[in-house]
Structure 1
Amino acid sequence: MSATRGAGPVITIRYCVDCRWLLRAQWYAGELLQTFADEVGGVLVAPASGAMFRIDVDGPDGPRTVWNRKTDGGFPEIGELKRRVRDLVAPEKPLGHTDRAAE
């Protein structure tokens, strides 16, 4: 176990309750926690409204949006989401087959 586990930035997934996107948000949260257990402080799943589905990563200058359903168009493929999160929280981390699939 890493001594720094849980010491990194928090990822926040805001999902529209009325749109019933909780299960999608939970699935993304589990995937991100599995992949970045040593690099992030956790994943917060937060209810919202207005057809919102946005994923942010805390940073020293405030949160940075990784994915916004309204501006990025729909929902991310899990490989794309992991690459975007990795680029912010652990740029040197290899993602194995996810990186190879993007080539």
Structure 2
Amino acid sequence: MSNMSHAHTLTRALLLCFSAGSAALLQRFGGFGSTPTSAAAFSRVIPAALASSDNRGSSSDGGVFSRVYARAKKADRAKASASRSLEQDSEEAEEDIELLCRLPRVSIEYCTQCNWMLRSAWLSQELLTTFNGTLREVALQPNHEGGGVFIVSVADEEGELVIWDRSEEERFPEAKELKQRVRDSIDPGRSLGHSDEKSAEISSSPARFAVQRLLGLLDLSSRPRRRRGE
């Protein structure tokens, strides 16, 4: 056997011994130089380096150790980069949740016995369309106790404010009226465009008055009314 073959065999033996003992050494000392290198990375790349040495021949044995170390360092850098990216995504998600929780929330409490769910759902979609990106949510809260309950509230960081109570107003709000009250509560300086018309102008439309009258007849107004908390 030639000297070159002996050198090749000796190099392979040294690499195998180095692979077997690298985990304990790296776990104890944390790597080489100023940058830690994981034992797991070495255990993955050493078999690849041996295969590369077999393919290239014994003349490349002198560079095997440097290739092993370079591949291990590359694997560690990729792992560190993935960890940093995950931490950044987590921080951004927390910021988004915190920002979302600061947005105001509207709730519509309605009497289920009076069949006012569809009316409440219609008003909620009107508010969501107008205040898109401004409200956290518009929640529908069914009240099964009866009594003609229809209460609209706005909640923010300062507390909760009732902006419409049917027992006090003695009627349902127009969509424009409700939008104005929500606007006045969360952003008084905001323009609502056509929804900024005066209530008198809204009620002056004959067709709208007829619709209001028809809805009033269907509201089962003979049911006893109660204030919230009674």
TM bracket (short chain): 0.7 to 0.9
Considering fraction of residues, name the structure with more helix. 2
Distance 1:90 1:62 in 2: 15
Quote the residue 2:150 is aligned against.
53
Match of 1:37 among 132, 140, 157: 132
Aligned in 2, Cα 1:58/1:34: closer, same or farther, shift over 3 Å?
Answer: same
Secondary structure of the corresponding residue to residue 181 of structure 2:
helix
Quote the residue 2:172 is aligned against.
75
**Aligned pair 1:93/2:93, yes or no?**
no
Aligned in 2, Cα 1:91/1:5: closer, same or farther, shift over 3 Å?
Answer: farther
Quote the residue 1:13 is aligned against.
108
| Structure 1, unpaired ranges of 5+ | none
**What are the superposed Cα offsets for residues 54-98 of structure 1, whole Å, 9 maximum, x if unpaired?**
000003342100100000121011111110000011212110011
**Aligned pair 1:65/2:188, yes or no?**
no
- Asked which structure has the greater RCO (Cα within 8 Å, sep 6+), the reply is 1
Asked if structure 2 preserves the Cα contact closer than 8 Å seen for 1:5 and 1:37, the reply is no
Moved more, 58-67 or 14-23: 58-67
Secondary structure of the corresponding residue to residue 190 of structure 2:
coil
RMSD (Å), alpha carbons: 1.9
Asked if structure 2 preserves the Cα contact closer than 8 Å seen for 1:6 and 1:39, the reply is no
Distance 2:137 2:125 in 1: 10
| Structure 2, unpaired ranges of 5+ | 1-95, 202-230
Aligned in 2, Cα 1:15/1:57: closer, same or farther, shift over 3 Å?
Answer: same
Considering fraction of residues, name the structure with more strand. 1
Residues matched between the structures, number: 100
Normalised to the residue count of structure 2, the TM-score between the two structures is 0.41
Secondary structure of the corresponding residue to residue 191 of structure 2:
coil
Identity %: 38
- Bigger Rg, which one: 2
